[in-house]
Amino acid sequence: MAIRINGTEVAAPEDARVSLLDLLRERLGLTGTKVGCNQGACGACTVLVDGARVLSCLTLAVQADGRSVTTIEGLGSAEAPHPLQAAFIEHDGFQCGYCTPGQICAAEAMLREIAAGVPSYVTANLTAPAELSREEVRERMSGNLCRCGAHNGIIEAILQVAQERAP
C-alpha cells in the first residue's frame, strides 16, 4: 500500500508511530503544513484526507495508507493560486501567514461539508441546507486559531469563495 500525497504515491513509513504531520514536513519536505500546538488544539496542521479535513498532528501516517492526502502545496501555487488563496490575499486574511495553510485546507473541506448538507452546532434548521452566514462560517472554522487576529478577513474571504461557488 502507499499514500497518495498531492497526486504522488509515497510509501507509508515502516515506523507506525510517525505522524502524518512529521511524514509531510520532516520526511517529504512539504513544509507548507505547519506545526502549531502539536496536540490538536490550533488547526495549523490541517490537511485533507480523501477530501475531508484532518489534524495531521493527531493522525498517524499509516492511517492514510491507501488514501489520498492533499496539502496546501496540492491545492494551489504562486502561479496558479486556489480561489481561497486569492481571496485571502484580497481580504487580508492573514498577517504572519503561519496559520494560513491550515485555514485554507480547513475552509476548502468546510465548504464541501456545507455543500453536502452537513449541519454545524449553530445550524438552526436541520432539515434544510445550511445558510452560509458569518455565524456558520465562524463556528465551522473555530478549530483553526489565528494568533494575529485575522479572523474577520478570513471569514470574508471564505464567504466570497462560497458565493462564487453558489449555484
Per CB under 6 A, does 122 bind ligand FES?
no
Among 31, 67, 89, 98, interactor with ligand FES by CB under 6 A: 98
> For the purposes of burial, counting CB atoms within 10 Å of the CB of 78, is it exposed (0-12), middle (13-18) or buried (19 or more)?
exposed
We find the least distance from the C-beta atom of residue 146 to ligand FES, in angstroms, to be 3
Binding mask 46-65 for ligand FES (x = CB under 6 A): ---------x-x--------
Per CB under 6 A, does 66 bind ligand FES?
no
CB atoms inside a 10 Å sphere around CB 123 = 19
Nearer to ligand FES, 3 or 45 (CB): 45
> For the purposes of burial, counting CB atoms within 10 Å of the CB of 140, is it exposed (0-12), middle (13-18) or buried (19 or more)?
buried
CB atoms inside a 10 Å sphere around CB 97 = 13
Full DSSP string of 118-155: ---TT-S-TTSPPP--HHHHHHHTTTS--TT--HHHHH
Among 35, 89, 122, 159, interactor with ligand FES by CB under 6 A: 35
We find the least distance from the C-beta atom of residue 167 to ligand FES, in angstroms, to be 31
Interacting residues with ligand FES (CB under 6 A): 35-38, 40-45, 55, 57, 94-100, 146-148, 150
